[in-house]
Amino acid sequence: MKDEAQIASLFGPDGFSSAHFKTPDKVRDKIYSQTSYAIVRFFGAGKTSGDVIYEAANNTASPTAVNDRAATLKFVKHLYRAKKRGAQDVWIYSPPSEHAGWIFDEITGNKETVIAKLNKEAELFSETDKNSMCSALALALKISEDTKIKLADNNETTKSFVKRWFMDEDCGDTEINEAIAKLSDGFKRIAVCCNSNTLVFTDYPDWRDRRNTLMGGAIPGGGRLFILKALLPTWRTEAGICGPVREPLSMSSHIMRFVPRIIDTGIKG
Protein backbone atom coordinates (compact mmCIF):
# COMPACT_ATOMS: atom_id res chain seq x y z
CA MET A 1 0.00 0.00 0.00
CA LYS A 2 2.89 2.37 0.70
CA ASP A 3 3.95 2.08 -2.93
CA GLU A 4 0.48 1.76 -4.46
CA ALA A 5 -1.36 4.52 -2.57
CA GLN A 6 1.70 6.67 -1.79
CA ILE A 7 0.27 7.76 1.54
CA ALA A 8 3.28 9.83 2.58
CA SER A 9 3.12 11.78 -0.70
CA LEU A 10 -0.45 12.85 0.10
CA PHE A 11 0.90 15.16 2.81
CA GLY A 12 2.64 18.06 1.07
CA PRO A 13 4.42 21.05 2.61
CA ASP A 14 1.44 23.34 1.93
CA GLY A 15 -1.38 20.88 2.52
CA PHE A 16 -2.73 17.76 0.91
CA SER A 17 -1.22 17.04 -2.50
CA SER A 18 -3.60 17.55 -5.40
CA ALA A 19 -1.59 15.09 -7.46
CA HIS A 20 -2.38 12.33 -4.94
CA PHE A 21 -6.08 13.01 -4.45
CA LYS A 22 -6.89 9.37 -5.23
CA THR A 23 -4.86 8.12 -2.26
CA PRO A 24 -7.81 8.06 0.22
CA ASP A 25 -9.93 6.12 -2.32
CA LYS A 26 -7.13 3.60 -2.79
CA VAL A 27 -6.79 3.16 0.97
CA ARG A 28 -10.55 2.67 1.37
CA ASP A 29 -10.71 0.19 -1.51
CA LYS A 30 -7.81 -1.83 -0.13
CA ILE A 31 -9.30 -1.95 3.36
CA TYR A 32 -12.73 -2.95 2.08
CA SER A 33 -11.24 -5.63 -0.19
CA GLN A 34 -9.64 -7.33 2.82
CA THR A 35 -12.59 -6.92 5.18
CA SER A 36 -14.77 -10.01 5.55
CA TYR A 37 -18.50 -10.01 5.03
CA ALA A 38 -20.66 -9.58 8.15
CA ILE A 39 -22.02 -13.14 7.89
CA VAL A 40 -18.47 -14.50 7.99
CA ARG A 41 -17.62 -12.39 11.04
CA PHE A 42 -20.85 -13.53 12.69
CA PHE A 43 -19.46 -17.06 12.88
CA GLY A 44 -16.24 -15.80 14.42
CA ALA A 45 -14.09 -15.82 11.33
CA GLY A 46 -12.71 -13.19 8.99
CA LYS A 47 -11.48 -9.66 9.56
CA THR A 48 -13.10 -6.37 10.42
CA SER A 49 -11.85 -3.09 8.92
CA GLY A 50 -10.18 -2.45 12.27
CA ASP A 51 -8.31 -5.73 12.02
CA VAL A 52 -7.10 -4.87 8.52
CA ILE A 53 -5.90 -1.40 9.55
CA TYR A 54 -4.17 -2.71 12.67
CA GLU A 55 -2.36 -5.43 10.72
CA ALA A 56 -1.26 -2.88 8.12
CA ALA A 57 0.06 -0.65 10.90
CA ASN A 58 2.34 -3.39 12.21
CA ASN A 59 5.30 -2.29 10.13
CA THR A 60 8.44 -3.30 11.95
CA ALA A 61 10.58 -1.28 9.55
CA SER A 62 9.15 1.99 10.88
CA PRO A 63 10.19 3.46 14.23
CA THR A 64 6.76 5.04 14.68
CA ALA A 65 4.42 3.42 17.21
CA VAL A 66 1.82 1.04 15.80
CA ASN A 67 -1.05 3.12 17.19
CA ASP A 68 0.16 6.23 15.38
CA ARG A 69 0.46 4.31 12.13
CA ALA A 70 -3.05 2.93 12.62
CA ALA A 71 -4.37 6.43 13.38
CA THR A 72 -2.80 7.74 10.16
CA LEU A 73 -4.47 5.04 8.08
CA LYS A 74 -7.78 5.68 9.84
CA PHE A 75 -7.42 9.40 9.16
CA VAL A 76 -6.77 8.90 5.46
CA LYS A 77 -9.68 6.44 5.25
CA HIS A 78 -12.08 9.21 6.28
CA LEU A 79 -10.57 11.92 4.06
CA TYR A 80 -12.20 13.06 0.80
CA ARG A 81 -11.23 15.44 -1.97
CA ALA A 82 -14.75 16.86 -2.25
CA LYS A 83 -14.31 19.49 -4.94
CA LYS A 84 -11.82 20.74 -7.50
CA ARG A 85 -12.21 24.33 -8.77
CA GLY A 86 -9.34 25.60 -10.85
CA ALA A 87 -6.26 25.44 -8.63
CA GLN A 88 -8.37 24.99 -5.49
CA ASP A 89 -8.80 21.64 -3.76
CA VAL A 90 -11.53 21.35 -1.14
CA TRP A 91 -10.98 18.43 1.22
CA ILE A 92 -13.34 17.11 3.86
CA TYR A 93 -12.24 15.00 6.80
CA SER A 94 -15.32 13.24 8.15
CA PRO A 95 -14.26 11.40 11.32
CA PRO A 96 -16.31 8.62 12.90
CA SER A 97 -19.21 10.20 14.77
CA GLU A 98 -18.49 8.00 17.80
CA HIS A 99 -14.98 9.39 18.18
CA ALA A 100 -14.99 12.07 20.85
CA GLY A 101 -11.56 13.58 20.20
CA TRP A 102 -8.79 14.08 17.66
CA ILE A 103 -7.73 10.94 15.83
CA PHE A 104 -4.31 10.56 17.47
CA ASP A 105 -5.91 10.98 20.89
CA GLU A 106 -8.61 8.43 20.06
CA ILE A 107 -6.39 5.63 18.77
CA THR A 108 -4.66 4.77 22.03
CA GLY A 109 -4.60 1.84 24.42
CA ASN A 110 -4.07 -1.88 23.96
CA LYS A 111 -4.71 -3.84 20.78
CA GLU A 112 -8.33 -4.68 21.55
CA THR A 113 -9.19 -1.09 22.45
CA VAL A 114 -7.49 0.30 19.36
CA ILE A 115 -9.19 -2.16 16.99
CA ALA A 116 -12.57 -1.34 18.54
CA LYS A 117 -11.95 2.36 17.81
CA LEU A 118 -10.73 1.57 14.30
CA ASN A 119 -13.96 -0.33 13.66
CA LYS A 120 -16.08 2.80 14.13
CA GLU A 121 -17.33 3.50 10.61
CA ALA A 122 -20.37 5.81 10.76
CA GLU A 123 -19.07 9.22 9.70
CA LEU A 124 -19.96 12.61 11.10
CA PHE A 125 -20.82 14.19 7.75
CA SER A 126 -23.29 12.78 5.24
CA GLU A 127 -22.99 13.23 1.48
CA THR A 128 -25.56 16.02 1.78
CA ASP A 129 -23.40 17.71 4.42
CA LYS A 130 -20.34 17.52 2.19
CA ASN A 131 -22.20 19.02 -0.76
CA SER A 132 -23.54 21.78 1.50
CA MET A 133 -20.03 22.64 2.67
CA CYS A 134 -18.81 23.06 -0.90
CA SER A 135 -21.88 25.08 -1.88
CA ALA A 136 -21.55 27.29 1.20
CA LEU A 137 -17.89 27.93 0.44
CA ALA A 138 -18.78 29.15 -3.04
CA LEU A 139 -21.55 31.33 -1.60
CA ALA A 140 -19.22 32.75 1.06
CA LEU A 141 -16.70 33.69 -1.62
CA LYS A 142 -19.36 35.42 -3.74
CA ILE A 143 -20.78 37.34 -0.77
CA SER A 144 -17.29 38.42 0.31
CA GLU A 145 -16.37 39.64 -3.16
CA ASP A 146 -19.69 41.51 -3.50
CA THR A 147 -19.23 43.07 -0.06
CA LYS A 148 -15.71 44.21 -0.94
CA ILE A 149 -17.12 46.13 -3.90
CA LYS A 150 -19.85 47.76 -1.80
CA LEU A 151 -17.38 48.78 0.91
CA ALA A 152 -14.97 50.16 -1.67
CA ASP A 153 -17.70 52.45 -3.03
CA ASN A 154 -17.90 54.08 0.41
CA ASN A 155 -20.99 56.00 -0.66
CA GLU A 156 -23.81 57.27 1.52
CA THR A 157 -25.77 54.02 1.16
CA THR A 158 -22.79 52.03 2.37
CA LYS A 159 -22.17 54.41 5.27
CA SER A 160 -25.83 54.25 6.26
CA PHE A 161 -25.75 50.45 6.24
CA VAL A 162 -22.53 50.24 8.27
CA LYS A 163 -23.81 52.77 10.78
CA ARG A 164 -27.10 50.90 11.19
CA TRP A 165 -25.52 47.52 11.86
CA PHE A 166 -22.17 48.28 13.46
CA MET A 167 -22.16 51.71 15.03
CA ASP A 168 -23.78 53.68 17.80
CA GLU A 169 -26.21 56.43 16.76
CA ASP A 170 -23.81 59.10 18.00
CA CYS A 171 -20.86 57.93 15.88
CA GLY A 172 -19.69 60.38 13.25
CA ASP A 173 -18.04 60.12 9.83
CA THR A 174 -14.58 59.50 11.27
CA GLU A 175 -15.71 56.43 13.21
CA ILE A 176 -17.81 55.18 10.30
CA ASN A 177 -14.90 55.48 7.88
CA GLU A 178 -12.65 53.63 10.31
CA ALA A 179 -15.26 50.89 10.58
CA ILE A 180 -15.54 50.62 6.79
CA ALA A 181 -11.76 50.31 6.53
CA LYS A 182 -11.74 47.52 9.11
CA LEU A 183 -14.60 45.69 7.43
CA SER A 184 -13.01 46.08 4.02
CA ASP A 185 -9.74 44.61 5.25
CA GLY A 186 -11.59 41.75 6.93
CA PHE A 187 -13.66 40.83 3.89
CA LYS A 188 -10.57 40.91 1.69
CA ARG A 189 -9.00 38.31 3.94
CA ILE A 190 -12.20 36.26 4.01
CA ALA A 191 -12.17 36.21 0.21
CA VAL A 192 -8.50 35.17 0.17
CA CYS A 193 -9.26 32.37 2.62
CA CYS A 194 -12.27 31.14 0.60
CA ASN A 195 -10.16 31.24 -2.55
CA SER A 196 -7.14 29.43 -1.08
CA ASN A 197 -5.62 26.60 -3.07
CA THR A 198 -6.16 24.17 -0.21
CA LEU A 199 -9.08 24.16 2.20
CA VAL A 200 -10.00 21.37 4.58
CA PHE A 201 -13.36 21.16 6.30
CA THR A 202 -13.65 19.07 9.43
CA ASP A 203 -15.13 18.83 12.89
CA TYR A 204 -13.69 20.53 15.96
CA PRO A 205 -14.18 17.96 18.76
CA ASP A 206 -13.49 20.40 21.58
CA TRP A 207 -16.70 22.28 20.72
CA ARG A 208 -18.97 19.29 20.21
CA ASP A 209 -20.79 19.62 23.52
CA ARG A 210 -21.90 23.14 22.61
CA ARG A 211 -21.99 22.89 18.83
CA ASN A 212 -25.64 23.91 18.55
CA THR A 213 -25.02 27.13 20.49
CA LEU A 214 -22.15 28.37 18.34
CA MET A 215 -22.40 30.47 15.23
CA GLY A 216 -18.64 30.63 15.13
CA GLY A 217 -15.38 31.87 16.41
CA ALA A 218 -12.08 31.91 14.65
CA ILE A 219 -8.43 31.84 15.48
CA PRO A 220 -6.19 33.42 12.84
CA GLY A 221 -3.23 31.46 11.59
CA GLY A 222 -2.51 28.17 9.96
CA GLY A 223 -0.65 29.22 6.86
CA ARG A 224 -2.19 27.89 3.67
CA LEU A 225 -3.76 24.70 5.03
CA PHE A 226 -6.93 25.26 7.01
CA ILE A 227 -9.00 22.83 9.01
CA LEU A 228 -12.49 24.29 9.09
CA LYS A 229 -15.83 23.33 10.50
CA ALA A 230 -17.39 26.52 9.17
CA LEU A 231 -19.94 26.65 6.43
CA LEU A 232 -20.33 30.41 6.16
CA PRO A 233 -18.11 33.39 7.01
CA THR A 234 -18.99 35.50 10.01
CA TRP A 235 -17.49 38.51 11.68
CA ARG A 236 -17.53 39.83 15.22
CA THR A 237 -18.16 43.41 16.23
CA GLU A 238 -18.85 45.15 19.50
CA ALA A 239 -22.15 46.85 18.97
CA GLY A 240 -22.96 50.11 20.63
CA ILE A 241 -19.37 51.24 21.05
CA CYS A 242 -18.34 54.40 19.26
CA GLY A 243 -15.01 54.22 17.51
CA PRO A 244 -13.26 51.59 15.37
CA VAL A 245 -15.02 48.23 15.31
CA ARG A 246 -13.17 45.11 16.24
CA GLU A 247 -11.22 43.29 13.56
CA PRO A 248 -13.51 40.98 11.55
CA LEU A 249 -12.79 37.31 12.00
CA SER A 250 -12.16 35.37 8.83
CA MET A 251 -14.19 32.16 9.15
CA SER A 252 -16.67 30.57 11.54
CA SER A 253 -14.21 27.99 12.69
CA HIS A 254 -11.11 27.11 14.62
CA ILE A 255 -8.36 27.61 12.03
CA MET A 256 -5.21 25.71 12.63
CA ARG A 257 -2.24 24.04 11.01
CA PHE A 258 -2.49 20.30 10.63
CA VAL A 259 0.89 18.74 11.19
CA PRO A 260 0.59 15.27 9.69
CA ARG A 261 2.57 12.36 10.97
CA ILE A 262 4.30 11.00 7.91
CA ILE A 263 4.84 7.36 8.65
CA ASP A 264 5.21 4.15 6.72
CA THR A 265 2.08 2.04 6.49
CA GLY A 266 1.25 -0.90 4.29
CA ILE A 267 -1.64 -3.25 3.85
CA LYS A 268 -0.50 -6.81 3.59
CA GLY A 269 -1.52 -8.97 0.70
SS (H, E, C) 153-196: HCCHHHHHHHHHHHCCCCCCHHHHHHHHHHHHHHHHHHHHHHCC
> What's the confidence (pLDDT) of residue 37?
58
| Stronger pLDDT, 40 or 5, i.e. the higher one | 5
Least confident of 111-115, 178-182, 250-254: 250-254
Question: pTM score, two decimals?
Answer: 0.73
> What's the confidence (pLDDT) of residue 85?
92
Q: Give the pLDDT mean for 189-215.
A: 78
Tell me the pLDDT tens digit for each residue of 160-173.
Answer: 988 888 888 888 88
Q: State the Cα–Cα distance between residues 21 and 200, nearest whole angstrom.
A: 13
Q: Give the pLDDT mean for 43-58.
A: 82
Tell me: pLDDT of 111 over 90: yes
| Stronger pLDDT, 250 or 16, i.e. the higher one | 16
> What's the confidence (pLDDT) of residue 169?
82
Nearest to 225 by CA among 251, 253, 256, 250: 256
Task: Give Cα 234 to chain centroid, integer Å.
Answer: 17
In the chain, where does DSSP find H-type helix? 2-5, 7-10, 23-33, 38-42, 49-57, 66-77, 103-106, 111-118, 127-153, 156-166, 173-194
Tell me: pLDDT of 222 over 50: no
